[in-house]
Amino acid sequence: MSLIGIPIGFYGYVFPGNINLMVLELYNSKRHRFLMLMLALVIIFESIYCIVSLMFINNIKSNARFFSFVESASYILILIMGLWMLFEKRTTNNKPHQNTIFRGVLNMIIHPQQIPYWLIAGSVLSGTLNLIPNNWTVVTFAFFNAVGTLLAMVAYMFFGKKILDYFKLNIFHINKAMGVLYILLFLSHLFLE
């Protein structure tokens, strides 16, 4: 079941952001040594955020009330994200790309979305993965998540321009589809629990 980490890691980095743009910029400017260092750091920090968050989820499972609160909050956030994506109005995508490498490095180390992302993902996956503190399952899941992350980074290195163009043209429809998926995930938890 740890193989589910691959699509989760890929999904976490496939949407355009500072880290992906940094990878694309470094690859296009042929700064391959620095690129390899940055890829290693992306994987390291992604794995740290993943393992710490999943271990936190495991540790709070013994406190059923608090775990239930975190799990409920996670599903409510999924519902909010789904509704937001579903009802978001179309906007233009003309954002300047200044200081791309600096922003990418900064977001890699201090990534404000990582902890909430992994708390939500950990809550949703906790029953699926049957995580146990210090269990090999957490480490293998984090490893496969790192593989998925690396696949997204490699996709940006080789197909970055095409990926960015695709998202520019289709982000409205992609957001609608992801919004529906998030709402279905929330509803399945609500009615299947």
Residue, of 168 and 32, whose pLDDT is higher? 32
Q: Quick one: pLDDT band at residue 97, thresholds 50, 70, 90?
A: very low
Write the single-letter amino acid at 116.
P
Write the single-letter amino acid at 148.
G
Q: What is the mean pLDDT of residues 116-127?
A: 73
What pLDDT score does 106 carry?
A: 63
Q: What whole-number distance in Å separates Cα of residue 64 and Cα of residue 60?
A: 7
Write the single-letter amino acid at 183.
I
C-alpha of 9 from chain center = 6
Q: Quick one: pLDDT band at residue 110, thresholds 50, 70, 90?
A: low
What pLDDT score does 93 carry?
A: 47
Q: What whole-number distance in Å separates Cα of residue 134 and Cα of residue 136?
A: 7
Percentage of the chain with pLDDT > 90? 6
Q: What whole-number distance in Å separates Cα of residue 64 and Cα of residue 104?
A: 38
Contacts of 153 (CB under 8 A, 6+ apart): 13, 19, 20, 23, 39, 42
pLDDT at 137 over 70: yes
Q: What whole-number distance in Å separates Cα of residue 80 and Cα of residue 86?
A: 10
Judge contact between 13 and 20, C-beta under 8 A.
yes
What values do phi and psi take at 95, rounded to 5? -100, 135
Residue, of 154 and 116, whose pLDDT is higher? 154
pLDDT tens digits, 49-64: 888 888 888 788 788 8
Judge contact between 119 and 59, C-beta under 8 A.
no
Judge contact between 43 and 149, C-beta under 8 A.
yes
At 76, is the secondary structure helix, strand, or coil? helix
Q: What is the mean pLDDT of residues 27-48?
A: 88
Residue, of 148 and 167, whose pLDDT is higher? 148
Of the ranges 105-109, 143-147, 159-163, the best mean pLDDT one: 143-147
Contacts of 188 (CB under 8 A, 6+ apart): none
